Amino acid sequence: MKKIDNGGITSPKGFKAAGVAAGLKRSGKKDIAVIYTESPANFAGAFTSNKLCASSIDYCRRVVERSDTIHAIAINSGNANACTGDQGVADTELMASELAKHLNIKNDQVMISSTGVIGVPLPIDKITHGLKQAVDKLSFAGGEDAAQAIMTTDTIHKAIAVSIDVDGYPVTIGGIAKGAGMIAPKMKMPQPHATMLAYITTDAAIEPDCLRHCLVNSLHGSFNRITVDGDTSTNDTVITMANGAAGNPIIKTGAAEAELFSEAFSYVAMNLAKKIVLDGEGATKFVNVTVKNAKSESQARQCAFAIANSLLCKTAWFGADPNWGRILDVIGYSEIDIDSGNISVFYDDLVIVEKSQGTSTPVSDQIAVLKQKEFNVTVDVGVGNSEFSVWTCDLSYDYIKINAEYHT
């Protein structure tokens, strides 16, 4: 696998993209993105588990159920179009029909995403005009513009692309994502088939079920492993498209090529997920929280997320305060099985708690670890052999400033 310099959503063959400013954001920055492939693309999607999901989520789920292929994705930032009733549904469908008209494709070959403030109707006239602008600007070099256009409180755009060799054919996988706050995705695949948004394209020729399987596999080790603030958005979306432009023999489930492709696909998803955490609203530190020797992976996950979402732990990390008592407190109320007299906690390789009590590790050494931009918090609960890691960040003053004034 080779990482492509400055790679992104248009690195795979046949994909164009654009990002334009349609006036949805007060800042005047780009706020409409379109991703397009002329060749029909196999696709798969995963969406938020929030029961008050945006109309774009319901729309995309219907497309997954009734369409074999798609050609395009339209994304607007600055407005989530969530909790906007029948008007929101009509606006989502109008976005799809307008883009389909401009690209001369069917409505059900378009996916729609929105992100921004909840509960405010879309400025639909601005959006329809912006979609026409974006179509006119579609380009094989438009990936960065699209990555910028989907941002809300993000401080950097997030993109990556890698290439692999499949039976002598170069195959490329590229992606973009946005997310900085309201980040605690609980992504689910539809059955049978600040917000976190991610789009992954590939020019691989791959069976639809195999592509879907790759997406399912990637979620566990990427987007379903991150949290910034514990809030699951109404609009979380991951969509992948495969247009077959690489010309490789079709990748089929169970083949060695499928395993190679899945590993590369998961790497792209993992990279994008980590970038979201690193760009968390007001974040100054990336923290890897691992719970090990738990009774089951689900219990390890439950405890790791409890620690990662603890306001007291996150503020201590921000202040480089080695207050390990807060971590033990979370372990105790996380409702998992533990050996209460045999808990260990580590900051990187430093043992700071052993047999549920503090160690003689100098406080100055502990502070030094917590002052790093990235560090590990590892917890051993001593009752099994399962583990799970969560990627999170600290909680700073700036998070409060950003979210206290997000709407106004």
Q: Which amino acids are annotated catalytic?
A: 195
**CA 143, CA 244: separation in Å to the nearest integer?**
19
Distance (Å, whole) CA 176 – CA 159: 4
Question: How many Å apart are CA 309 and CA 386, to the nearest integer?
Answer: 21
Q: How far apart are CA 186 and CA 288, in angstroms?
A: 18
Q: Is the dihedral of CA 221, 227, 231, 235 positive or negative?
A: negative
What is the residue whose two structure tokens read 């990627």?
391
- The H helix count followed by the E strand count for the chain is 11, 15
Helix axes 124-136, 85-103, angle to 10 degrees: 20
Structure tokens at 310: 């603890």
How far apart CA 388 and CA 390 sit, in angstroms, is 7
| 51 vs 393: CA distance, rounded Å | 26
DSSP class of 107: G
Residue among 202, 193, 198 nearest 242 (CA): 202
Is the CB of residue 353 less than 8 Å from the CB of residue 345? yes
CA gap 298, 138 in Å, rounded: 44
Return phi, psi of residue 297, to 5°.
-65, -40
Pairing of β 237-242 and β 197-202: parallel
Tell me the torsion sign for CA atoms 51, 53, 59, 60: negative
Q: Is the peptide bond before 192 cis (omega within 30 degrees of 0)?
A: yes
Q: Residue 43 and residue 69: Cα distance in Å, rounded?
A: 6
Q: How far apart are CA 192 and CA 199, in angstroms?
A: 21
Burial of 207 (0-12, 13-18, 19+ CB in 10 A): middle
